Amino acid sequence: MNFENMNIWCWIIPLLVGLLCALFGYLLGKGKSETVVDHSAELKQCRETNAKLQADLAACTKKLSEKPVSIPQPTPSSTSNITSSFGATAEVEAAPVPIPFDAAAAKAVFGKNIKQDDLKVIEGIGPKIEGLFKGADIATWKALSETSVASCKEVLATGGERYRIHDPSSWHMQAKMCYEGKWAELAKWQDEHDHGRL
């Protein structure tokens, strides 16, 4: 009698262990398949965000690449011609006033001392690339903000093959923010664009 009871338990215990293992395996497998669905949704959202940011960058780049038409400064004799031809004196734009550099405002945003026209503030530019640009007479934020992407690539090409991998498409925009003293906007842009990388 004792032997028969023991024989039944020899069958029941492995059967229960097998059922429990099957149940846990099913639950683990189901949990893993749901995780893949969650990651694909996140990936889709990241791709949509990336596409939007690419479009924003393209719009900003296009806007910055459009150069405003400058009105030539009239000489005193041409001013009188303008007056006599049209019967009224034409208003002439004054020469642009340079924007003063505010080191304290830059330090307040970046938490470190920023020197005027330090090209290394721009994400993607290090000491070697700054040297290449200074060698090409692009030594200020204003000069870099007025330099086309194609010209930036030409400057990078002078440094050799290892500098061709850099993407200067946002450098003129970042340089313009530096020149105009828009430090908070620059820091926000660099954070939103993974520190300059798109």
List pLDDT tens digits, range 71-113.
555 554 444 444 444 454 555 555 567 788 899 999 999 899 9
Q: Which of 66, 87, 120 delimits the end of a domain?
A: 66
Predicted local distance difference test score (pLDDT) of residue 95: 59
Residues 125 and 53 reside in one and the same domain? no
Residue 133 has pLDDT above 90, yes or no: yes
Cα(3)–Cα(38) distance, rounded to whole angstroms?
Answer: 54
Is 183 within 8 Å of 109 (Cβ atoms)? yes
Predicted local distance difference test score (pLDDT) of residue 130: 93
Predicted local distance difference test score (pLDDT) of residue 178: 92
Residue 196 has pLDDT above 80, yes or no: no
Residues 45 and 106 reside in one and the same domain? no
Predicted local distance difference test score (pLDDT) of residue 37: 52
- Is residue 16, in this structure, part of any structural domain at all? no
Residues 114 and 61 reside in one and the same domain? no
Cα(106)–Cα(181) distance, rounded to whole angstroms?
Answer: 8
Is 81 within 8 Å of 71 (Cβ atoms)? no
- Is residue 9, in this structure, part of any structural domain at all? no
Cα(121)–Cα(145) distance, rounded to whole angstroms?
Answer: 13
Q: Give 138-183 pLDDT, tens digit per residue.
A: 999 999 999 999 999 999 999 988 888 889 999 999 999 998 999 9
Residues 128 and 182 reside in one and the same domain? yes
Residues 56 and 117 reside in one and the same domain? no
Predicted local distance difference test score (pLDDT) of residue 67: 58
Q: Give 21-78 pLDDT, tens digit per residue.
A: 888 888 887 766 554 456 777 888 888 888 888 888 888 777 777 755 555 555 544 4
Residues in the chain: 198
- Is residue 20, in this structure, part of any structural domain at all? no
Domain count, the chain: 2
- Is residue 13, in this structure, part of any structural domain at all? no
**Residues spanned by the domain of 60:** 36-66
Residues 118 and 185 reside in one and the same domain? yes
Q: Which residue, among 111, 127, 116, 113, has the nearest Cα to 175 in the 3D structure?
A: 116
Is 165 within 8 Å of 191 (Cβ atoms)? no
